[in-house]
Amino acid sequence: MKQKRTKANIASNKKLKEMFISMGHPERCEEGICPACKQLFILADVRGRKRKFCSKKCNSSYKSPEQIEKMNISRKKYLDNLPRIEYRCSVCNIKLSWGSKTCNEHRKPFSKTHRKRLAEALTGKKQSKETLDKLSKIRQRKTPWNKGKPDYARRGAGHHNWKGGLTPAKMIFRNSLETKQWRTSVFHRDDYTCMLCESKAGVLNAHHIKFFANNPDFRLDIRNGITLCKGCHQAVHKHIGYGESDSNMAELYIRAFSSIHWTGQSVKERHDATVHFIRYGNHLCEGYQTA
């Protein structure tokens, strides 16, 4: 098995070898393995005495399995011989698991100055990986009190980054919780499947059958939504536009679908898909009757 050798280790070994050979002692060039860092080094030191470790650092840090076992035994004996002290709250006499005078209910809160000192003491302090792992496990067990609840106090003028209402009303509505719930309901109803190409892969969009811009009353109506994949959604809007006209919507959709090129679908399949699409918004598309 090849042993790992650093550049510093190789350089020091080379110097020692040259020195021993120049002094006429080639027998001192014997190499061994350091039990601490597992690197090859010359066993003899400058004076020719045999050594066990390659450096003072390895000598001080290394502990053999026997030494570790002795330390563990002595530590266990020390802990076993410690006197068992029972801690109780001075107010309600409840048994405590730590050396405190009072329980959590009767403990006085920290003053502002003390909290400030604690914050300053921990500022810039880096915690070890073991501590971070323990903290993450503790946090996984607890559910945040505000999970799934909208924070209305920090919205609008209450937010620290408020600039007087620069976001358009349309974007506010599209990013609202109600619109997200509407989109999820449409996806769930359509089984997360595109209603034109029947594909479940890729990005899905919730399309408004009656235009979003011209029909604010139907924006959150689940019956006005239909699931389309990204490609079909772009193809539909390419032919029907984005709300320029609301007249003859059914005819507009039929004309759009007749011009969309669907790979691998016949004229009959395309017609059936068009009728299936219109049926979702039949009660909203006035003047159109599906055959």
Cα atoms in the Cβ-side hemisphere of radius 13 Å centred on 1: 6
CA dihedral over 129, 131, 132, 134, signed as positive or negative: positive
Q: Are both 86 and 22 inside the same structural domain? A: no
CB 274 within 8 A of CB 257: yes
Mean of pLDDT values over 93-115: 83
Of the candidates 82, 34, 90, 33, the residue with the CA atom closest to the CA atom of residue 58: 34
Residue 24 has pLDDT above 80, yes or no: no
In a domain, 42, yes or no: yes
- Look at 89 and 14; give whichever has higher pLDDT: 89
pLDDT (tens digit per residue) in 153-192: 888 888 888 888 888 888 888 888 898 999 999 898 888 8
Q: Are residues 203 and 268 in the same domain?
A: yes
pLDDT band at 287 (very low <50, low <70, confident <90, very high): very low
pTM above 0.95, yes or no: no
Range of the domain at 34: 7-61
Number of domains making up the chain: 3
Does residue 121 belong to any structural domain of this protein? no
In a domain, 151, yes or no: no
The reply to whether 206 and 256 lie within a common domain is yes
The reply to whether 179 and 269 lie within a common domain is: yes
Residue 113 banded pLDDT, cuts 50, 70, 90? very high
Q: pLDDT digits over 34-65, tens only?
A: 877 877 877 776 667 777 777 778 877 777 78
Structure tokens given for 173: 């509505």
Task: Tell me what pLDDT residue 86 has.
Answer: 79
Q: For 165, left (φ over 0), alpha (ψ -120 to 50), or beta? A: left
Same domain? For 214 and 236 the reply is yes
Bridge partners of 118, per DSSP, are: none
In a domain, 39, yes or no: yes
Say if residue 184 is in the same domain as residue 269: yes
Residue 255: what pLDDT? 59
Report the 10 Å Cβ neighbour count for 250: 19
Question: Is residue 125 domain-resident?
Answer: no
Encode pLDDT of 237-284 as tens digits.
777 777 655 556 666 666 555 555 444 455 555 556 555 555 544 444
Residue type at position 74: S
